[in-house]
Amino acid sequence: MFTLIQSHMDLNQIAASGQCFTWTPLPGGGWRIHALGRVLECAQEGDRFTFSCTEEAFRTVWHDYFDLSADYGAYISAIDPADPCLTAAAAFGGGIRILRQDLWEVMVGFLISQNNNIARITRSMDLLRRRFGDGLAFPSPDDISCAAAGELEALGLGYRAKYLSALSAELAGGGLDELREVLDCSDDEEAVTALMSFCGIGRKVADCILLFGLHRLDAFPSDTHIKQILAERYPAGFPYDRYRGFLGVIQQYLFYYHLRQ
């Protein structure tokens, strides 16, 4: 076990923020996280966190996963104090951090997130891991592309099954590594264009992949919640330029605030 004191982090807020679909609640409180081919159990009391791993494992794997090198207090301090909506959102969800997740897991999660909810997406991701992976590591494009007709539909994916089948087939046989190379050499708009070339990935999903799978913090996914906030609270336009470099963090504060109010 490893214990850490950490400010500006709230496990419950992160789990409910819509950025991850591999967290499941533990019966006695806390969370079980399947990520990066590993399993971590963690619990929180105020700013005190307990993790089911050694200090070495935490420092080498999970410290980066929770984005603990970033100063989220500085992000919050940079918010315009004259902006009542954003200051309230940051006060309400200031424990959210942008996780550094695996690109492929994020692509699959957000591909099947369309017209879906966090609980159902999490269940589908767990079923995919158990059916096509080894129960620990998430299955690769090659693993999923070998699924027989109807196997993905049987996991409750609905119409999204055909998107996942097509994406897995395109990225099997080294295609995922090639995509990573393309994305690494692309600016944000070029990366969005590359991602939207795949069946089932529109602008919103592409922006989510940018933010949560590539940690491109200037991505600002816009769904119905964000569109409603911008229309109601920022009719003259949102001050994107003020928050360049951490727009994705700001988006998460706004999204979570609107979702949970």
CA distances from 241 to 115, 229, 246 (A): 31, 18, 10
pLDDT tens, position by position, 2-49: 999 999 999 999 999 999 999 999 998 999 999 999 999 999 999 999
**pTM for the whole thing?**
0.95
CA distances from 103 to 73, 154, 184, 228 (A): 26, 25, 12, 28
Task: Indicate which residue of 120, 123, 204, 225 is catalytic.
Answer: 204
pLDDT of residue 154: 85
pLDDT of residue 149: 65
CA distances from 18 to 75, 185, 252, 253 (A): 20, 27, 9, 11
Based on the residue annotation, tell me whether 162 is a catalytic residue of this protein: no
Query: Which residue ranges in the chain fall short of pLDDT 50?
Result: none
The structural domains of the chain, ordered by start, are 103-201 (1.10.340.30)
